[in-house]
C-alpha cells in the first residue's frame, strides 16, 4: 500500500471511545425538560424549561445549550440559553422571522458559534445570536425536517419523509439522503450524536440510527410527551484534550484532518482502524478502535494549538467505514486522547 493511500485511509480516522453512561437532556414541545439515560433510555423529569413549542436543541457554551422555541411572555419565537443540567431556559433574543421561509425546525452549532437553523420551507439560515436576525440563507430542498445536529464537518438532518440527510454547511443545496430507499419515521423528532459517534434519536421512543444506512432501531419506549430537542446534559463544554474533526470525507477528493484546543506547538498523532470500535487499551486510555490499529507520525500544532492536515483520498474508498482518534503527546511523556470519530467515506 502506497504512503498516499495509507495517509488517505488515516484521514478517514474514526475512533469511538468505549461508550460510557451519559445523561442526555431532552425538551418536550409542551415545555418540559427530561433527563434521558443514553444506555437504557430511562427518562427522569427535570421540571419545566420556561418556553413552549420547542423546535430543537444544540450544544452552545460551557454547561449550556441553545434552543429555539416560543416565548410565552412576548408571543415570539426566540432563541433560549438552556442550563444543560436542569433544562431551565433564559430568553436570549426573539427570532426575526420576517425573512424566514417556513417555520423553525432544526437547530445546530458547529463549535465556532455559527448557528444554523433549518426550516419547514426547505431553507437553511445562519442566525445572529445577539439580534435574532437571519444572516444568510440557502435552499436545501428538505421540507419535512424535524431536527438537525452537527458532527464531523457535516450537518445531519432528520426528515420525516426522506429519513436521514447529510449536508455540507458550505454547500447546503446539496442535501443528500444517506439511503434513498429509507423513508423517515414520524416517531423520531430529535437527533444527537453521542461522544462515541453513535447517532441517537428521541420522540415517541429512544432510537439508534445507523449513519451508514439510515436504518433506525427502537432501543427503549419512552412514556413522556413527544420530545423535540436532544443534547448532552453538559452540553457545549469543550472536552479535555484536543478536539478532532474531519471535513469533506469524499472518495477521490481532498479531506482535512483538523485539531483544535491542543497545546501550542504540540505534537499530534492520528490513528485509525478498519476493524471496529474497540475499546483498546493504550498508554493514554482506552481508544475507540479495534486492533489492528495504524498510526501516523507526529505532526506539530501551531501557536494557537491548531492543526489542519489536507489529505487526498484515493478513488474507490466510498462506503468504507473507519474508526479514528488523535492524541496529543506531552513533552515530559504521556499524552491525552482526543474525542473519537466514527465515519463512512462518501
Sort 62 into a burial class: Cβ within 10 Å, 0-12 / 13-18 / 19+: exposed
Maximum distance among all alpha carbons in the chain? 64
Do you know the residue count of the chain? 346
Q: What is the pLDDT of residues 265-299, one digit of tens each?
A: 889 999 988 888 878 888 877 788 888 998 889 99
Q: Which residues contact 132 (CB under 8 A, 6 or more apart)?
A: 78, 79, 92, 93, 94, 95, 96
CB 54 within 8 A of CB 29: yes
Same domain, 159 and 297: no
Task: Judge whether residue 109 has pLDDT over 70.
Answer: yes
Q: Give the residue with greater pLDDT, 243 vs 73.
A: 243
Task: Judge whether residue 248 has pLDDT over 70.
Answer: yes
Same domain, 201 and 254: no
**17-37 residues labelled b (16+ CB within 10 A) or e (exposed):** bebeebbbbbbbbebbbbbbe
CA distance 108 to 110: 7
Model's pTM, two decimal places? 0.63
CB half-sphere exposure, 67, CA atoms < 13 A? 39
Q: Cell triple for residue 55?
A: 423546535
CA distance 251 to 343: 13
Question: If pLDDT is split at 50, 70 and 90, which confidence band does 22 have?
Answer: low
CA dist 89 → 25, 69, 169, 188, 217 (Å): 12, 10, 27, 23, 31
Q: Which pLDDT value is given to residue 19?
A: 30
Same domain, 269 and 186: no
Same domain, 216 and 258: no
Q: Which pLDDT value is given to residue 332?
A: 62
In three state form, how does the secondary structure of 78-138 look? EEEEEECCCCCEEEEEECCHHHCCCCEEEEEECCCCCEEEEECCCEEEEECCCCCCEEEEE
- CATH number at 114 reads 2.120.10.30
Same domain, 226 and 280: no
Q: Which residues contact 75 (CB under 8 A, 6 or more apart)?
A: none
- Pick from 308, 211, 306: which is nearest to 255 by CA? 308
Same domain, 190 and 307: no
Beta-bridge mates of residue 155: 150, 167
Q: Give the residue with greater pLDDT, 110 vs 256.
A: 256
Q: Cell triple for residue 98?
A: 420576517
Question: If pLDDT is split at 50, 70 and 90, which confidence band does 208 have?
Answer: very high
Helix (H, G, I), strand (E, B) or coil at 64: strand
Q: What is the pLDDT of residues 126-175, one digit of tens each?
A: 998 888 888 888 888 788 889 999 988 889 999 888 889 998 888 877 77
Asked which of 201, 232, 263 is the last residue of a domain, the reply is: 232
> Of 13-27, 183-197, 247-261, 324-338, which one has max mean pLDDT?
247-261
CB 202 within 8 A of CB 26: yes
Same domain, 10 and 31: no
The share of the chain scoring above pLDDT 70, in percent, equals 89
Asked which of 232, 266, 281 is the last residue of a domain, the reply is: 232
Within 10 Å of residue 316's Cβ, how many Cβ atoms?
Answer: 11
Quote the number of domains for the chain.
2
Task: Judge whether residue 65 has pLDDT over 50.
Answer: yes
CA distance 55 to 194: 20
CA distance 141 to 225: 29
CA distance 233 to 248: 29
Same domain, 116 and 197: yes
Same domain, 280 and 326: yes
The parent domain of residue 189 ranges over 23-232
CA distance 81 to 89: 5
Find the mean pLDDT for residues 210-219.
Answer: 89
Asked which of 232, 252, 270 is the last residue of a domain, the reply is: 232
Same domain, 59 and 123: yes
Same domain, 78 and 121: yes
Q: Which pLDDT value is given to residue 277?
A: 81
Q: Which pLDDT value is given to residue 117?
A: 92
Q: Which pLDDT value is given to residue 10?
A: 40
- CATH number at 252 reads 2.60.40.10
- Pick from 31, 39, 120: which is nearest to 82 by CA? 31
Please state, rounded to an integer, the average pLDDT across all residues of the chain: 81
Q: Which pLDDT value is given to residue 104?
A: 86
Q: Cell triple for residue 341?
A: 470519530
Helix (H, G, I), strand (E, B) or coil at 60: strand
Same domain, 181 and 201: yes
Amino acid at each position: 500500500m502506497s504512503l498516499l493511500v495509507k495517509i488517505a485511509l488515516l484521514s478517514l480516522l474514526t475512533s469511538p471511545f468505549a461508550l460510557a453512561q451519559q445523561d442526555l437532556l431532552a425538551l418536550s414541545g409542551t415545555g418540559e425538560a427530561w433527563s434521558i439515560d443514553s444506555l437504557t433510555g430511562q427518562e427522569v423529569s427535570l421540571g419545566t424549561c420556561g418556553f413552549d413549542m420547542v423546535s430543537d436543541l444544540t450544544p452552545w457554551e460551557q454547561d449550556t445549550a441553545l434552543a429555539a422555541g416560543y416565548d410565552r411572555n412576548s408571543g415570539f419565537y426566540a432563541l433560549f440559553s438552556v442550563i444543560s443540567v436542569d433544562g431551565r431556559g433564559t430568553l436570549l433574543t426573539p427570532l426575526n422571522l420576517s425573512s424566514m421561509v417556513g417555520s423553525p425546525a432544526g437547530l445546530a452549532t458547529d463549535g465556532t458559534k455559527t448557528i444554523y437553523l433549518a426550516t419547514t420551507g426547505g431553507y437553511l439560515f445562519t442566525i445572529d445570536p445577539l439580534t435574532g436576525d437571519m444572516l444568510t440563507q440557502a435552499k436545501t430542498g428538505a421540507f419535512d425536517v424535524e431536527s438537525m445536529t452537527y458532527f464531523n464537518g457535516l450537518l445531519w438532518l432528520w426528515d420525516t419523509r426522506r429519513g436521514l440527510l447529510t449536508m455540507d454547511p458550505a454547500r447546503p443545496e446539496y442535501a443528500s439522503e444517506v439511503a434513498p430507499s429509507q423513508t423517515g419515521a414520524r416517531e423520531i423528532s430529535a437527533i444527537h450524536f453521542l461522544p462515541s459517534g453513535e447517532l441517537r434519536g428521541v420522540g415517541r421512543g429512544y432510537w439508534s440510527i445507523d449513519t451508514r444506512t439510515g436504518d433506525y432501531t427502537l432501543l427503549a419506549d419512552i412514556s413522556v410527551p413527544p420530545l423535540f430537542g436532544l443534547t448532552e446534559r453538559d452540553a457545549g463544554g469543550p472536552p479535555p484534550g484536543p478536539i478532532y474533526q474531519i471535513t469533506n470525507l469524499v472518495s477521490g477528493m481532498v479531506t482535512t484532518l483538523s485539531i483544535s484546543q491542543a497545546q501550542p506547538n504540540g505534537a499530534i498523532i492520528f490513528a485509525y482502524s478498519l476493524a471496529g470500535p474497540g475499546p483498546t487499551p493504550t498508554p493514554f486510555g482506552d481508544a475507540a478502535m479495534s486492533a489492528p490499529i495504524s498510526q501516523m507520525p507526529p505532526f506539530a500544532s501551531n501557536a494557537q494549538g491548531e492543526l489542519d492536515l489536507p489529505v487526498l483520498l484515493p478513488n474507490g474508498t466510498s462506503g468504507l467505514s473507519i474508526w479514528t482518534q488523535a492524541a496529543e503527546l506531552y513533552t515530559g511523556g504521556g499524552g491525552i486522547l482526543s474525542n473519537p470519530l466514527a465515519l463512512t467515506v462518501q
